[in-house]
């Protein structure tokens, strides 16, 4: 017996470990699918990939979405349970008091008495789902579960996309802070030269004031950038949900990645969007709910029965003559409900029409979001190309001004002004690069988290 018990325990542990491993494998596969490693690897940013894994592990919004799926699974089980027989065990002990004489025929009289009645039955009931109403309710609950799963996928796409955007905004802030500090340093040098010219009588007070105003303006921009960086960093820490992180590292010291995106997007791409799929499931769910409301007008048939023991003494409760059993079929039909069921049916029909209109609206909004994201990426990319051309021109001007100054034919302020203009264009380039990158991320979100390089290959 001990050996058998040991074997059974070992088998149970092996089965539990197998189930646990299978669940972990499913969760890991889902994480890999939602993370879309191939897409984020195109950014050639190991820090971004590392942060993404932390987001998947720690983010509270993603954990909430996962818990909602588990809740939905239990709701489906509840509806499915209504399709099965219901069995219950109940016991009842009651004290019967008779306060008057009872006559059973002309010659039999039972006087006042009291006794204990012991009832110990097993009750069973089953609604014979002849119209399939309970099964239709289960199908509706399953559609709702599919909607929740798509909501989870949408949450993964949104959270990772927003995190990537915030991360590259942090990169932008760090790069712009470096350029802005250089601008402030150059402007301070220009102000110092202007003050010397003023003291020598070669510059007016207005020129000095203008240079001071420009310096203050650049310092204000520097303060604004520092504030933006702090806010973005705090936002990233919240998404990461990791209290141990003291400072967010980024790739501001290296080149900003250049991610390719397609020139055009096929119209059927919206069919992969979570909101589009959710509206389809919701439309199907509403159709099932209308069917349930219609079937609710029909009669129901409940099969019931009891088997147990009924006695007046505890010692006789389990005797053969104390057996209690019953079985029957109970048809249930509401004759008059004040119009409640018809009102419920019309309500569900109106909900179905609302879901249909929402589906049409979602289709239009999906096209709009994809087109807006694509146009935004294209415009920012054009601005980036234009800014790079301007930078080449400013580099030429700075080179000329530097050579003139070194040869004694030009002045130091002219060279510093050229350097300032070059730094301004560099700021524009950084801004356009990050805006293009964020627009591409927005395009990735608008197509339902699909790899943009795959779209380019298929066109």
Predicted confidence (pLDDT) per residue in 361-402, tens digit: 999 999 999 999 999 999 999 999 999 999 999 999 999 999
**What pLDDT does residue 457 have?**
56
Q: How far is Cα of residue 300 from the mean position of the Cα atoms in its chain?
A: 41
Tell me what the pLDDT averaged over the chain comes to. Answer: 86
Q: Is the pLDDT of residue 20 over 50?
A: no
Say which residues have a Cβ less than 8 Å from residue 263's Cβ, sequence separation at least 6.
378, 459
Q: Is the pLDDT of residue 287 over 60?
A: yes
Label the pairing between strands 113-128 and 109-110: unpaired
Whether the CB-CB separation of 132 and 95 falls below 8 Å is answered with: no
Whether the CB-CB separation of 412 and 186 falls below 8 Å is answered with: no
The segment with the largest mean pLDDT, out of 360-369, 410-419, 443-452, is 360-369
Measured distance CA(342)–CA(90) in Å, rounded: 37
- For the chain, helix (H) and strand (E) counts, in that order, are 10, 7
Could you read off the pLDDT of 243-271 as tens digits, one per residue?
778 788 888 888 888 888 888 999 899 99
Q: How confident is the model at residue 32 (pLDDT cuts 50, 70, 90)?
A: low
Q: Is the pLDDT of residue 421 over 90?
A: yes
Angle at 374 (CA atoms; ends 368, 379), nearest 5 degrees: 120
Q: Could you tell me which of 156, 46, 48, 38 has the C-alpha nearest to residue 451?
A: 38
Four-CA torsion 18, 22, 25, 31, nearest 10 degrees: -140
**What pLDDT does residue 283 have?**
95
**What pLDDT does residue 60 have?**
92
**What pLDDT does residue 370 have?**
94
Q: Is the pLDDT of residue 85 over 60?
A: yes
What sign for the dihedral angle of Cα 80, 83, 87, 93?
positive
Which domains, from first to last, does the chain contain? 33-458 (1.20.1600.10)
**What pLDDT does residue 19 have?**
43
The segment with the largest mean pLDDT, out of 23-27, 43-47, 213-217, 249-253, is 213-217
Q: Is the pLDDT of residue 315 over 80?
A: no
What sign for the dihedral angle of Cα 25, 27, 33, 38?
negative
């Amino acid at each position: 017996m001990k050996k058998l018990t040991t074997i059974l325990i070992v088998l149970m542990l092996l089965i539990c470990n197998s189930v646990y491993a299978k669940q972990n494998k499913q969760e890991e596969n889902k994480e890999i699918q939602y993370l879309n490693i191939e897409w984020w690897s195109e950014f050639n940013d190991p820090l971004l990939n590392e942060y993404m894994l932390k987001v998947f592990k720690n983010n509270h919004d993603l954990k909430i979405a996962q818990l909602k799926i588990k809740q939905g699974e239990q709701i489906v089980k509840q509806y499915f349970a209504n399709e099965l027989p219901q069995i219950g065990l109940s016991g009842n002990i009651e004290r019967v008091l008779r306060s008057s004489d009872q006559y059973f025929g002309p010659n039999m009289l039972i006087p006042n008495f009291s006794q204990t009645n012991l009832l110990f039955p097993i009750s069973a009931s089953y609604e014979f789902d002849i119209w399939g109403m309970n099964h239709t309710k289960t199908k509706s609950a399953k559609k709702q579960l599919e909607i929740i799963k798509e909501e989870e996928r949408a949450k993964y796409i949104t959270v990772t996309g927003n995190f990537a955007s915030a991360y590259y905004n942090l990169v932008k802030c760090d790069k712009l802070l470096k350029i802005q500090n250089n601008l402030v340093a150059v402007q301070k040098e220009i102000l110092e030269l202007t003050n010397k010219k003023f003291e020598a009588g070669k510059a007016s007070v207005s020129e000095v004031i203008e240079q001071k105003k420009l310096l203050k303006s650049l310092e204000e921009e520097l303060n604004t950038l520092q504030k933006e960086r702090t806010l973005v960093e705090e936002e990233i820490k919240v998404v990461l949900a990791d209290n141990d992180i003291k400072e967010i590292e980024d790739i501001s010291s290296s080149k900003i990645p250049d991610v390719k995106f397609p020139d055009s997007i096929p119209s059927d791409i919206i069919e992969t969007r979570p909101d589009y799929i959710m509206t389809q499931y919701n439309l199907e769910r509403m159709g099932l709910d209308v069917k349930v409301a219609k079937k609710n007008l029909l009669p129901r048939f409940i099969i019931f029965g009891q088997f147990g023991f009924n006695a007046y003494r505890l010692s006789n409760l389990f005797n053969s003559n104390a057996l209690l059993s019953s079985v029957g079929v109970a048809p249930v039909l509401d004759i008059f409900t004040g119009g409640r069921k018809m009102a419920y049916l019309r309500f569900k029909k109106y909900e179905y029409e609302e879901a249909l209109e929402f589906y049409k609206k979602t289709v239009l909004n999906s096209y709009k979001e994809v087109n807006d994201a694509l146009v935004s990426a294209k415009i920012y990319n054009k601005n980036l190309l234009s800014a790079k051309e301007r930078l080449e021109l400013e580099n030429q001007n700075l080179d000329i001004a530097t050579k003139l100054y070194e040869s004694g034919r030009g002045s130091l302020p002219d060279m510093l002004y050229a350097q300032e203009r070059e730094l301004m264009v560099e700021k524009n380039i950084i801004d356009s690069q990050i805006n293009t990158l964020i627009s591409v991320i927005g395009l990735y979100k608008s197509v339902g988290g699909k790899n943009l390089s795959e779209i380019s290959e298929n066109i």
